[in-house]
Structure 1
């Protein structure tokens, strides 16, 4: 018998797409394991105390010593474990048998091949690995955003225009917004207060975040298409980690921006959306969602585009080009009842 060779592979990590390199460590030498060739070696390997008594004659029934305490039984006697095992197997076999052939045909009619195939797809699509894959791809390609982008481009172009644009949140005058009657602030995450796919606050923004907390107190939250979104953050682990690092509540939600209503946000704050501020870096995502639901919308520049995939950078350029073109043609953003000119609420408005 040839020896069996087992090689221990190191644990692997799954990174969000695109994957550049996968490194495997082959420094460890494989361990050679051989099956024992003799009975004594087999006893030693398995650490079993096999009986060393003399050979028994099993042609006649054996009388078991009532005083023996170990679990050894003679071959003509079934152990309790085997009885339970064979009993369960026999019961399953009987239950799986259909005594009536007509019933079998009815079952096939009730469960056609299409239903079986859909059931198979349902299992595949609900597996944890598929959820992780959707998270990696979905955060780069926003299908809902593409659908709304077509709608905005065709007939609702004003929804993509922010009330005011700034370089970053350090240019926002939180005290003035509070004085105008606003009750809370909703931040996007990626490229608004964190670099893409990071769960920590971008350090230069911390003073502005602290000022925002001083003005609005606990009425600050994050509403993101990554952390807190049920589809991609199914166990809430990203939301919990982000809350721990930035000290701001992350709203859990089911629908990806720009789709969906403001119901979950309004429920969290206890205020109407018209009393809240939406701050984000994407015109066709954050701004469209905010304008559709009555928020005051503030557009920021992205903090870093280095970590963004190529397709996201190109879509962002297209969005900003369209927004600038519509502004130059005289198109105005949707009006807001609490403030007529949002440029008065920022320190350094950014010209679009």
Structure 2
């Protein structure tokens, strides 16, 4: 190249005005070849790696417009320029000590908070499953949805509908002649609780039944008991508190048992009375629980009407309607309950409430 033309060319390209090169810092760190640039609107300086020369490459005419656009973006939040991802990508060297320290502190704080929340959730879960009220909720749900009863009812409908038909049907226990039943050779009486002796989920006996219940006690003595799917059931009354409360309220022994009616055999009941199940009477208001259980165990079965539907859960009311529709259908078709050897004619044990 001719020396005259070379003398006319600039030795370096100009640096844009909005980037200020601090030459003092450049010379101070000359060995490291690090220069410090700062944005014109920012008070903080960000160290960047110095190019191989202190000049910038030439670009086309849109550089100025891009510079103005970047200046607007950075100036919108001047205190966060060093954190902008575009800025971090533009320069390969950034001192990591300050950002790593903040990141470490945040991670530690987040881990501590996460640990505290985890411990709180664990303690809360433990309290949920250990509190007494959870056992009560579980018991209430179990009384409304009897899975054992659903399975057994399905088998009854498909295979042996006669098990759901009672030997005797009466409005309530006032229509039962306890003296005649005892004379026929029966040794004991097993009552269901809810809607048979008491209103649903209460402990006190239904007031109109008081005289008949006392007469039953006078005839059978201590050989009277309650077999309930709530009080006395090991799954929902493991400590026997509900059974003791019911015994104190109605003065009748509550049988502790492991299986919900109609599931389970009669061994626990036979052990309580000290006689075989064919000499016992089962009284209840549900065909597919009380009556099926009694017929499967060779009890004399007596079906009563429910005492109060107003306090009964909606789902139980619907299941009751379905049970009664099946029973009425089978009766219309002429099906009969299983015969009982001590009482071939069950009608002899039915009486009017006010008859002697």
Shared topology, TM-score over 0.5? yes
Give 1:182's aligned residue.
186
Q: For residues 245 and 145 of structure 1, what CA distance do their matches in structure 2 show?
A: 28
Runs of 5+ unmatched residues, structure 2: 1-124
Give 1:326's aligned residue.
330
1:222 equivalent among 223, 226, 229 = 226
Q: For residues 127 and 154 of structure 2, what CA distance do their matches in structure 1 show?
A: 33
Q: For residues 342 and 133 of structure 1, what CA distance do their matches in structure 2 show?
A: 40
Give 1:263's aligned residue.
267
Give 2:298's aligned residue.
294
Gap change, CA 1:334 and 1:125, over 3 Å in 2: farther
Structure having the higher helix fraction is: 2
Q: Deviations over 1:3-24 (max 9, x none)?
A: xxxxxxxxxxxxxxxxxxxxxx
Give 1:278's aligned residue.
282
Give 2:200's aligned residue.
196
Is residue 253–residue 264 contact of structure 1 (8 Å, CA) maintained in 2?
yes
Structure 1 segment 110-259 matched on structure 2, within 5 A: 128-259=132-263
- Determine helix, strand or coil for the equivalent of 2:144: coil
Structure 1 segment 98-117 matched on structure 2, within 5 A: none
- Determine helix, strand or coil for the equivalent of 1:197: coil
Q: 1:237 offset after TM fit, Å?
A: 1.1
Q: For residues 123 and 196 of structure 1, what CA distance do their matches in structure 2 show?
A: 29
Give 2:313's aligned residue.
309
Q: 1:132 offset after TM fit, Å?
A: 2.3
Q: For residues 134 and 173 of structure 2, what CA distance do their matches in structure 1 show?
A: 35
Q: For residues 219 and 310 of structure 1, what CA distance do their matches in structure 2 show?
A: 34
Equivalenced residues, count: 229
Question: How does the TM-score come out when normalised to structure 2?
Answer: 0.62
Q: For residues 126 and 254 of structure 1, what CA distance do their matches in structure 2 show?
A: 21
Q: For residues 131 and 182 of structure 1, what CA distance do their matches in structure 2 show?
A: 37
Instruction: Give me the CA root mean square deviation.
Output: 1.8
Q: For residues 198 and 133 of structure 2, what CA distance do their matches in structure 1 show?
A: 26
- Higher relative contact order (Cα pairs below 8 Å, separated by 6+ residues): 1
Is residue 166–residue 348 contact of structure 1 (8 Å, CA) maintained in 2?
no
Question: How does the TM-score come out when normalised to structure 1?
Answer: 0.63
Q: 1:279 offset after TM fit, Å?
A: 0.1
Runs of 4+ more than 2 Å apart: 121-133
Q: Does 1:346 align with 2:354?
A: no
Runs of 5+ unmatched residues, structure 1: 1-120
